Structure 1
Amino acid sequence: MTRRRTSALVAAVILLAGTAALLAVWRPWDPVPDELRAAARQVAHLPGVVSAEVTDYEVVFRDAKDGAVALVTLEVGLDGGLSPEAASAAASQADDVVAETQVDGVRTLSRTTTVHAGDPRTVHGVEVYPLTAWVTEDGDASSVADAVVLRRAGATTVSGVSAEAADGEGLVRLAEEAAEHKIAASLGTADDAVRYDASGRVPVVAAARLAVDAAGRPGVASVVVHAGFPEGTATADDSALTLQVGLDGPTSSPEADDVARWLDDPARDAGGRHLAYTLTEPGYASRVDGWVAAAPPPTPEEHTVPLPAGVGAWPDDDDAPACASDDLRLTLGTPDAAAGGRYLAVLAENVSERPCALDGVPRLTFRNADGEPQDDVTTEPAAPGVVPGRVVVPVGERALATVQWRAMSAANDPDVTTTVDVVAVPDGDPVPLTPTAELDLLDGAEVRVGPWAQGAEGWT
């Protein structure tokens, strides 16, 4: 080989080496910073951890002066044989490693630490692990321990606090374990015949057993246990539960009558609590409501709206006159939503020069964009047993009345509510108010309206 060829070959090797080095640093298709890659390698060597990978990284805000804001997702595989305590500790340590990682040019790094255990199976093209849990933003890994408890109790799949059982008996075992460890778990069977939607509460074993037994009755297609009592129930109970029994035939069938008699039997065990049931036929065209063991809860005593804990009552003044329309400036709070419910506050500020008293419930008319009132809207008391009471509103303070309705379908572009007419006092004039967003309060809505009550900071 000539010297010229040798020199050319050396130059080519140097060029290729330089290119390889450049490619090792410049990864436009892979934006994960090296600091986070190193953190994942560190996590992978923690006790109880079998794998760790940064699966997502995104800069959501760039600031050359103060530093960027970024999001990172770390997926951690745990040894499936770990105890609940060991699994929680491993997840917490993994999350701490990422939390302590400093990324060059990033001032705020938000993280999601997802924990898996077991061999995944593919469902509709997606990998599903036997156990999946998350560490909260503040570093709490207790849900990982809870997930392991449910998995050890026989759950076929656990995702957070949702667990699936192979059958009804397995679901009851999960409910027993959740109750023993105070885990607010939502449960279900693999065939979806029984579901227990915990809504943030620890399952009631008796309710789970009753749901499984009811699902085995002739004519029953599915049973769901959910929080709350049927609409219109005259009771106030924070621990209310209802069995939603879906029939495979009409509510007038002999099988439906047999299910109702079985649930009504005084010997039926409801776990020492009042348990409602609702039988529904396909399409929900008809329903039958009742109480397990024919034991409805007592009607609550009448009471005015209670104040939140720690809030002092406004001074009472027997000589304060009733508020007139001109004494009040009416506004609407920001609409809110939760668990299928819609919430709105009507606010009345005392703009007069002396305290005045409100007593009663505001009258409301809901209008669409054409100014026409919504048809067939019915109003009910805000809650069972709640009655109006005299509220003396100091100057500059605001009384409030709550408005609540169930979410309604906005498909097919219905006439939603765009204006609410409020009559605050007897014989007062209606005041049209425009909410900050259109309300899905349509024709036929059932609305719960509360009486005037003392307003409190942050409580609407």
Structure 2
Amino acid sequence: MTRRRIFVLVSALIVAAALAALVVVWRPWDPVPDELRAAASRVADLPGVVSAEVTGYEVAFRDAKDGDVALATVDVVLDDGLSPEAASAAAARADGLLAATRVDGVRTLSRTTAVHTGDPRTAHGVEVYPLTAWVTEDGDASSVADAVVLRRAGATTVSGVSAEAADGEGLVRLAEEAAEHKIAASLGTADDAVRYDASGRVPVVAAARLAVDAAGRPGVASVVVHAGFPPGTTAADDTALTLQVGLAGPTSSPEAGGVARWLDDPARDAGGRHLAYTLTEPGYAARVDGWVAAAPPPTPEEHTVPLPAGVGAWPADDDAPACAGDDLRLTLGTPDAAAGGRYLAVLAENVSGRPCALDGVPRLTFRDADGEPQDDVTTEPSAPGVVAGRVVVPAGERALATVQWRAMSTASDPDVTTTVDVVAVPDGDPVPLVPTAELDVLDGAEVRVGPWAQGAEGWS
């Protein structure tokens, strides 16, 4: 080989090596930083971990001066044979290693650590694992242990705190296991005939069994157990449950009557609690409400809103005049959410310079961005038995009234509530208030509004 050919060959090798190095370092089509990729590789070497892969990386906010804000998603696959405790510990170790990762030029790296076990199947081009759970942002991996408990109890798939059973008997077994381990799990059958919406609560085994048995009755299409009692029901029970029975035919059919009689039977086991039921026909055109075992709960005694323990009541000044509209500065608290519920406080500050009294419930109108009121919004008392009482508000203090509603779907982009008109006192003028975030109080919403009460830290 001539010297010139050797020179050309060596030059070509050098160029190829340089290009390969450039590909490894630059990777314009792959935004995952090398530091994060290396961390995932170290996670894969941890005991109990089968594999780890960065499946998502995005710079949410670029800041050349102080550093970027980025989001990362890491999928961690664990050994399918780990016990609940061992799986939780392995997930926590993996997440801790990822949390300690520092990426050059990134000030804040928020991560989502998704944990999987089992052999995945492909559904619509996406890998679906039998078990998926997530470690919280603060590193809590207890949900992984809960998910493994449910899978070991026979769940065909587990996603977070939602588990699916092959059939009704499997759902009851899941409810029993969830109750034993105090897991607030939502359950369902593969054919969607029975669902148990936990709403942040541990399932009641008797309710799950009753739902499965009801689903097998003639004329029943589906059964859902959900938190709460039917509208208009008053009961002193903050753990209320309702069986929503979807009928295959009208509520006037013989099959519907048979289902109602079966549920009304005093021998029916409701687990020692008051359990409501609602039969609905297709299209929800008609419904029948009742109580399992024909055992409605006792009507609660009327009472005013109690104060938190250790909070002293404001002076009861019999001579204080009623508050007028101009005596009050109205505001809205920050909306909150928990277990499928939405919460808001209406605040009324006494700016009159003297005590004045409130006695009643504020009237609310929910309006969309066009200023139109939401249609068919109904208001109910805030809680069973709660009634208004005279509250003397000292100068400069704030009374409050609570507002609560169930979360409503905004998937089809409906007109959400952007303004709430508040009438604080009888014959007062409506005061338009803009919440800090749009509210999913939509057409047909049922809203629970509490009476004016003394504002205090810890009040709820």
Deviation for aligned residue 1:321: 2.9
CA shift in 2, pair 1:216/1:22, >3 Å: same
How many aligned positions are there? 458
SS in structure 2 of the partner of residue 158 of structure 1: strand
Say if 2:428 is the partner of 1:429. yes
CA shift in 2, pair 1:370/1:58, >3 Å: closer
CA shift in 2, pair 1:251/1:186, >3 Å: same
**Following the alignment from structure 2 to structure 1, what is the Cα–Cα distance between the partners of residues 305 and 370?**
35
SS in structure 1 of the partner of residue 307 of structure 2: coil
Q: Is the 8 A contact 2:277 2:289 kept in 1?
A: yes
Greater displacement, 273-282 / 394-403: 394-403
Give the letter for the 1:260 counterpart.
A
**Following the alignment from structure 1 to structure 2, what is the Cα–Cα distance between the partners of residues 23 and 127?**
28
Q: Is the 8 A contact 1:369 1:419 kept in 2?
A: no
Deviation for aligned residue 1:433: 1.8
CA shift in 2, pair 1:439/1:201, >3 Å: closer
Q: Is the 8 A contact 2:320 2:357 kept in 1?
A: yes
CA shift in 2, pair 1:350/1:108, >3 Å: same
Greater displacement, 299-308 / 109-118: 299-308
**Following the alignment from structure 1 to structure 2, what is the Cα–Cα distance between the partners of residues 413 and 134?**
30
How many percent identity over aligned positions?
Answer: 85
Question: So what's the TM-score if we normalise by structure 2?
Answer: 0.91
SS in structure 2 of the partner of residue 173 of structure 1: helix
**Following the alignment from structure 2 to structure 1, what is the Cα–Cα distance between the partners of residues 444 and 33?**
56
CA shift in 2, pair 1:387/1:147, >3 Å: same
Say if 2:382 is the partner of 1:382. yes
Alignment of 1:163-202 (within 5 A): 163-202=163-202
SS in structure 1 of the partner of residue 144 of structure 2: helix
SS in structure 2 of the partner of residue 206 of structure 1: helix
Deviation for aligned residue 1:301: 1.0
Q: What do the CA deviations read for 1:23-80 (whole angstroms, capped 9, x no partner)?
A: 2211111111111121111111111111111111122222223222211111111111
Greater displacement, 181-190 / 394-403: 394-403
CA shift in 2, pair 1:440/1:22, >3 Å: closer
Alignment of 1:17-416 (within 5 A): 17-308=17-308, 311-333=311-333, 343-364=343-364, 379-404=379-404
Give the letter for the 2:224 counterpart.
V
Deviation for aligned residue 1:308: 4.0
Give the letter for the 1:220 counterpart.
V
**Who is 2:12 aligned against?**
12
Deviation for aligned residue 1:179: 0.7
Q: Is the 8 A contact 2:368 2:415 kept in 1?
A: no
**Who is 1:450 aligned against?**
450
Q: Is the 8 A contact 1:401 1:453 kept in 2?
A: yes
CA shift in 2, pair 1:8/1:370, >3 Å: closer
Q: What do the CA deviations read for 1:369-408 (whole angstroms, capped 9, x no partner)?
A: 8888777765442322111111111111121223445677
Give the letter for the 2:428 counterpart.
D
Structure 2: state its 5+ residue gaps.
none
**Following the alignment from structure 2 to structure 1, what is the Cα–Cα distance between the partners of residues 197 and 3?**
80
Give the letter for the 1:118 counterpart.
G
**Following the alignment from structure 2 to structure 1, what is the Cα–Cα distance between the partners of residues 416 and 114?**
43
Give the letter for the 2:430 counterpart.
V
What is the CA RMSD across the aligned residues, in angstroms? Answer: 2.8
Structure 1: state its 5+ residue gaps.
none
Q: Is the 8 A contact 1:331 1:433 kept in 2?
A: no
Q: Is the 8 A contact 2:362 2:422 kept in 1?
A: no
Q: Is the 8 A contact 1:417 1:440 kept in 2?
A: no
CA shift in 2, pair 1:440/1:218, >3 Å: same
**Following the alignment from structure 1 to structure 2, what is the Cα–Cα distance between the partners of residues 237 and 186?**
21
**Who is 1:420 aligned against?**
421
Q: Is the 8 A contact 1:246 1:280 kept in 2?
A: yes
